């Protein structure tokens, strides 16, 4: 995308802002305007796999950072081949004076997005539009808010003349939503060249809001389930459809999938899950909240486990899950199938292990004629600690934002982020995203992705406060 396209997108976005219903334009500070501009401009880049716009977005960001005073040698751009799709990563170094005698801090975000088809959206997904109190556009939540907020914060601090007492790094990946080739390479580079005290991730965590937009708690992601996909395959000699056999690859596969559907992995309770449900249960009404509190006190309570497991939003926090997601079978409508295969996607609880899950699938299927094959190497990562200094810095940011103390709840994500690769290399990785949303407003990866306008601006001091607390105010 060239500069004319960026400016055009910006003009459309501003037009959308002016047309917002019942939401008067707010007077923006210089920092708010800067981050808004970055947010608007990077959403205009279609940084989904296959569209070739990542280099344009990286060039835009490096231009912004260079204009703010970051030296060329502190802006590292790296090219990657993500399963045949070119992409880039960006590392930004904010040099400290070393007076703290402490290791650097690394902050993560990813620049790519899941693709969006304009014809399916109510608004152009690659034009930032303000409407009905929300910003709409692909990446408004996942994760261009993180990119814009962190970039704007570095520029703000540089313009203020702030000198941290240790080095700070932004590490922006280019294919988190697909192959994570850039993520893996960047994590190894960080380990070899930076060796940080810990890693802070903008792509998870965040503040949960009640229906009336009151803050409930800051979620602090300290762990992620392992993402792994297995191909479950049945084979058969096949034949003519006019002469059916007693065995059939499709029927065999169907039977195997029904057994997988019935498979329940054991509940994996830990200090993290108990504290999570204990805190969350205080704000969730009705029997679900009561079940959470009960589980926190007694993780063996079957009734509580059943109630929590019945809610798709929480079942993944209790146990490993596996679910069939894709099917491929047969080669002609008048021929018996010679093979039938299903993709079974699993999210593995930390400590359970991919091989253990594969064995459980094979045991559940109980058919030696059906194979279970792991598609790709999986990254297994441990749970992270929540460093005391990060806890204190986050508490200050929240108190400043809301005028009172806000609970901080350690969580584990059922999905995956860049953070898993840093945990796998031994670095505590703590996700403390600045976003704030009600559950019904989370549309990441979906149609009409959005972020509450008020929440967007309210989170723009977050990283400045956190970094000054951690690296000298």
Predicted confidence band of residue 453 (pLDDT cuts 50, 70, 90): very high
Which residues is 81 bridged to in the sheet?
86
Question: Each residue of 299-310: pLDDT tens digit?
Answer: 999 999 999 999
Span 70-82, mean pLDDT?
A: 97
Q: What is the pLDDT of residue 90?
A: 98
Q: What percent of the chain has pLDDT over 90?
A: 78
Q: Can you give the pLDDT at residue 123?
A: 95
pLDDT computed for residue 444 by the predictor:
81
Domains of the chain: 3-224+383-471 (3.40.630.10), 226-374 (3.30.70.360)
Confidence check: pLDDT of 4 > 80: no
Window from 337-346, 358-367, 408-417 with minimum mean pLDDT: 408-417
Q: What is the pLDDT of residue 115?
A: 96
* Residue 1 binned pLDDT confidence (cut-offs 50, 70, 90): very low
10 Å Cβ neighbour count for 293? Answer: 17
CA pair distance 361, 256, nearest whole angstrom: 9
pLDDT of amino acid 315: 83
pLDDT digits (tens, 9 = 90+) for 251-267: 999 999 999 999 999 99
pLDDT band of residue 316 (cuts 50, 70, 90) is confident
Q: Specify the range with the lowest mean pLDDT, choosing from 26-35, 76-85, 237-246.
A: 237-246
Rounded Cα–Cα distance for residues 458 and 454 (Å)? 6
Phi, psi torsion values for 218, nearest 5 degrees:
-90, 120
Whether 105 has a pLDDT exceeding 80, the answer reads yes
pLDDT at 44: 98
Whether residue 143 is predicted with pLDDT greater than 90 in this model: the reply is: yes
**Under DSSP, is residue 47 helix (H, G, I), strand (E, B) or coil?**
coil
Name the residue with higher pLDDT: 268 or 59: 59
Q: What is the pLDDT of residue 24?
A: 58
Q: What is the mean pLDDT of residues 364-389?
A: 94
* Tokens 């917002």 sit on residue: 20
Residue 175 structure tokens: 């294919």
Indicate whether 139 pLDDT > 80.
yes
Number of Cβ atoms within 10 Å of the Cβ of 216: 19
Q: Supply the DSSP symbol for 162.
A: -
- The SS3 call for residue 464 is helix
Whole-number pLDDT of residue 140? 97
C-beta neighbour count of 448 within 10 angstroms: 16
pLDDT of 22 > 60? The answer is no
Q: What's the pLDDT score for residue 102? A: 97
| Residue-averaged pLDDT of the chain | 92
Which has more pLDDT, 210 or 420? 420
What average pLDDT does this structure show over 336-347?
A: 96
Between CA 288 and CA 435 the distance in angstroms is 25
pLDDT at 321 over 50: yes
Q: Which of 48, 122, 115, 125 is nearest to 87 (CA)?
A: 48
Residue 197, CA distances (Å) to 73, 155, 390, 419, 427 in order: 22, 23, 11, 14, 8
Q: What residues are paired with 55 via a beta bridge?
A: none
pLDDT at 6 over 70: no
pLDDT at 148 over 60: yes
Determine the pLDDT at residue 7.
35
Convert the pLDDT of each residue in 393-450 to its tens digit: 999 999 999 999 999 999 988 778 999 999 999 999 999 999 999 888 887 888 899 9
pLDDT band at 25 (very low <50, low <70, confident <90, very high): low
- Averaged pLDDT, 39-59: 98
State the pLDDT at residue 15. Answer: 39
Compute the distance between CA of residue 340 and CA of residue 276 in angstroms, rounded to an integer: 41
How far is 39 from 59, CA to CA, in rounded Å?
15
Range with lowest mean pLDDT among 230-234, 243-247, 302-306: 243-247
Instruction: Give the mean model confidence (pLDDT) for residues 244-252.
Output: 92
* pTM, full prediction: 0.85
Reported confidence tier of residue 26, pLDDT bands at 50, 70, 90: confident
């Amino acid at each position: 995308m060239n500069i004319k396209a960026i400016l055009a997108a910006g003009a459309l976005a501003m037009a959308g802002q002016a047309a917002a219903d019942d939401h008067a334009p707010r007077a923006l500070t210089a920092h708010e305007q800067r981050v808004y501009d970055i947010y608007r401009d990077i959403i205009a880049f279609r940084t989904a796999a296959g569209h070739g716009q990542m280099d344009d977005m990286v060039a835009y960001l490096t231009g912004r950072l260079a204009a703010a005073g970051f030296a060329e040698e502190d802006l590292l751009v790296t090219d990657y081949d993500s399963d045949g799709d070119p992409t880039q990563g960006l590392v930004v170094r904010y040099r400290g004076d070393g007076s703290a005698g402490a290791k650097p801090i690394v902050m993560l975000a990813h620049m790519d997005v899941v693709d969006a088809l304009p014809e399916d959206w109510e608004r152009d997904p690659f034009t930032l539009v303000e409407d009905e109190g929300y910003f709409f556009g692909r990446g408004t939540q996942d994760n261009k808010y993180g990119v814009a907020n962190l970039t704007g914060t570095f520029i703000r601090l540089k313009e203020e003349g702030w000198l941290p007492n240790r080095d700070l790094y932004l590490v922006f990946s280019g294919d988190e939503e697909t192959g994570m080739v850039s993520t893996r390479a960047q994590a190894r580079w960080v380990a070899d060249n930076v060796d940080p005290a810990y890693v802070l991730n903008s792509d998870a965590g965040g503040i949960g809001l009640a229906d009336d937009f009151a803050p409930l708690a800051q979620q602090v992601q300290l762990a992620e389930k392992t993402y792994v996909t297995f191909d479950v395959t049945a084979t058969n000699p096949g034949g003519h459809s006019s002469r059916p056999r007693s065995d059939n690859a499709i029927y065999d596969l169907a039977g195997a999938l029904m057994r997988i559907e019935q498979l329940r992995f054991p509940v994996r309770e830990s200090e993290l899950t108990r504290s999570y449900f204990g805190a969350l249960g205080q704000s969730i009404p009705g029997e679900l909240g009561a079940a959470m509190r009960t589980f926190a006190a007694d993780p063996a309570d079957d009734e509580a486990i059943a109630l929590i497991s019945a809610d798709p939003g929480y079942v993944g926090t209790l146990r490993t899950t596996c679910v069939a997601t894709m099917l491929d079978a047969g080669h002609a409508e008048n021929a018996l199938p010679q093979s039938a295969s299903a993709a079974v996607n699993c999210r593995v609880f930390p400590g359970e292990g991919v091989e253990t899950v594969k064995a459980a699938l094979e045991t559940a299927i109980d058919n030696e004629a059906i194979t279970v094959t792991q598609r790709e190497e999986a990254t297994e990562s441990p749970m992270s600690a929540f460093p005391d200094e990060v806890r204190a810095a986050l508490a200050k940011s929240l108190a400043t934002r809301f005028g009172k103390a806000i609970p901080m709840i350690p969580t584990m994500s059922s999905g995956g982020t860049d953070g898993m690769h840093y945990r796998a290399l031994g670095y505590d990785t703590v996700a403390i995203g600045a976003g704030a949303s009600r559950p019904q407003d989370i549309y990441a990866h979906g149609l009409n992705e959005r972020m509450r306008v008020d929440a967007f601006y309210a989170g723009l001091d977050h990283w400045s406060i956190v970094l000054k607390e951690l690296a000298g105010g």
